[in-house]
Amino acid sequence: MGSIRRKGWLGAALMAVSLGACQGGSFSGSPEGVPIALESIDGAPAPVRTALIDELSTAASDRKVELVGASAEARYRVRGYLSTETSEGKTKVSYVWDVFDSQKRRAKRLAGTSPVPVPSASLTNLDKETLAKLASASMDEIAEFLSAARDEAPFQTAEASADEASVAQ
């Protein structure tokens, strides 16, 4: 990823974090009954990606978020992107989660940062505590989004939507 491109999406991520901070860190509804699939996490090496998926699974379970396999039917699909940034001797891991609906349209973009305790940290050596914080913050935002989405419309598989469309014609 080029330096200009990285700075562009990091800037967007930081703006989203600033806006997200106004909303508070807790969610009020229940995300139950809104299955999501975690499709990919780009930017992190395989061991970190695996450890983050474990932390996300734990955080999802704690928030009653139904995390299903990538090949399962899901109302939403999530793709993640990670990077680190060091500024003024402090390192942060930045994350972006794109949430796509069943028609593959982006329904929500969630972004944030999490401090890394070691100034020279990179994505290759993130510790369990950092990954747990990142997963917790991420799943708080995803659960909040899913809680709101749960009330909008019931989950339908792509086949059910196609069947309804053919009946309507």
pLDDT digits (tens, 9 = 90+) for 11-40: 333 333 333 333 333 434 557 778 899 999
- pLDDT bracket for residue 120 (50, 70, 90): low
Look at residues 29, 41, 58 and name the one whose alpha carbon lies nearest to residue 149: 29
Transcribe 20-43 into DSSP letters: HHTT-S---S--TT--EEEEEEES
**What's the rounded Cα separation, in Å, for the pair 85 and 91?**
6
Share of the chain above pLDDT 70, in %: 68
**Predicted TM-score (pTM) above 0.85:** no
CATH of domain 3-20+28-168: 3.30.160.150
More confident residue, 162 or 36: 36
* The pLDDT value given to residue 8: 41
Flag whether pLDDT at 157 surpasses 90. Answer: no
Look at residues 125, 112, 101, 111 and name the one whose alpha carbon lies nearest to residue 34: 101
Could you tell me the residue ranges of all domains in the chain? 3-20+28-168
What Rg value do the Cα atoms of the chain yield, rounded?
Answer: 17
pLDDT digits (tens, 9 = 90+) for 55-102: 999 999 999 999 998 888 898 999 999 998 888 878 889 999 999 998
Flag whether pLDDT at 126 surpasses 60. Answer: yes
* The pLDDT value given to residue 36: 92
Chain Cα centroid distance, residue 48: 15
Q: Which of 1-10, 30-39, 119-128 has the lowest mean pLDDT?
A: 1-10
